[in-house]
Amino acid sequence: MPTYNKYHQTSLSLYGLSKQTFPHAQYEVILVDDASSDNTPNIVKEADVPFKFKYIRMKKNKGRSSVRNIGINHAEGDLLIFLDGEMLAPPAFIENHYKHHVHESDLVVTGAMHYEGVYTFIMPDYNEDQMAHLKELVGRDPEYRRLYENYEQTKRHSNVPYPLVTKEDVDTNRFQRLSFPNRYFLNSGLKHFGERLEGFTLPYIAFLSGNVSVRKANLKKSGLFDETFVGYGAEDWELGYRLYKNGAKFVLDPSTVAYHQEHGISKRKLKEQWGNHYRFVKKHPNIDVLILSLEWKELPFMHLHQTLVEYKELKKRFPDEYNELTHAF
């Protein structure tokens, strides 16, 4: 789990991981703190967890790829689950990831494409849309509505996160009343390819490092995260692409979903995403990577898939013709 200045959410995430149905003696949690300036270092003293817990703190901010590689290199297990520091895992989360890997050794299992968000704290850097969305959700529960009203009356101008969800709410699943689905990927038509994405031409987009599992041996074979990718975006797809080229099979399982605790959105995010996308296509100038550029025109992944199918069919039927078209494309 990488984390950076998300002390409150990460503390709740560790609590969720302590409530797993998977035997506590059989998993470890590695939290890599990317030089946080908040209270994250206090987690070591505060965490009362039943599993083996390793806390690694960077002296300088290294970026997402680097800290994940550090976690990989410190992991004792054969199976790795990548989970963002603000992801709240339900009790069967580890067990549901693990069961897929028992009889197959070349799988990538993701719950991230069945994205669920949740507001566990009112963060001082929420934008107007997030606040409006939260105000709508608190109406589902009288206690959450009371907390929200208290925030508006007394804490609205505070720079400190205001807690909504407690550990008891995690125990009872009450926090789900502040959760919401975002079916962005599935709405693109991918559900028609089934859990195994059979026939889908871009399966590597399922490698989303906020919630994905893979055997360490497969990472050693394909290589770890590329540390030239800094900031947000594409570093997980780039590794997923290398795993795909080395024969990995991708599995979408909604039972491995975890809840993303919402936080403010950095204004640098889009610029970083553009830069890393460019780095990705420069490193792999192949049609099944270049096609992702169409996503920036807000075309769904089903459209990208169908375009790629037609492109490959054209190349197959007319291998020595239309070269100017295929090159330009």
pLDDT at 187: 54
pLDDT at 90: 96
Give the pLDDT confidence score for residue 114 in this predicted structure: 82
117, β-bridge pairs: 180, 260
Q: What is the pLDDT of residue 184?
A: 58
Measured distance CA(263)–CA(127) in Å, rounded: 9
8 Å CB contact between 268 and 236: no
Identify the pLDDT of residue 299.
86
Q: Which pLDDT belongs to residue 157?
A: 76
pLDDT value for 186: 57
Burial 95-108 (b: 16+ CB within 10 A, else e): ebbbebbeeeeebb
Q: Distance (Å, rounded) from C-alpha 227 to C-alpha 179?
A: 33
Phi, then psi, of 80 in degrees rounded to 5: -115, 135
Give the pLDDT of residue 250: 96
pLDDT by 10-residue block (mean), the chain, 329 residues: 94 96 97 94 91 95 93 96 96 97 95 90 92 94 95 84 95 95 65 90 94 96 94 91 97 94 79 88 94 86 92 93 86
- For residue 113, the model assigns a pLDDT of 84
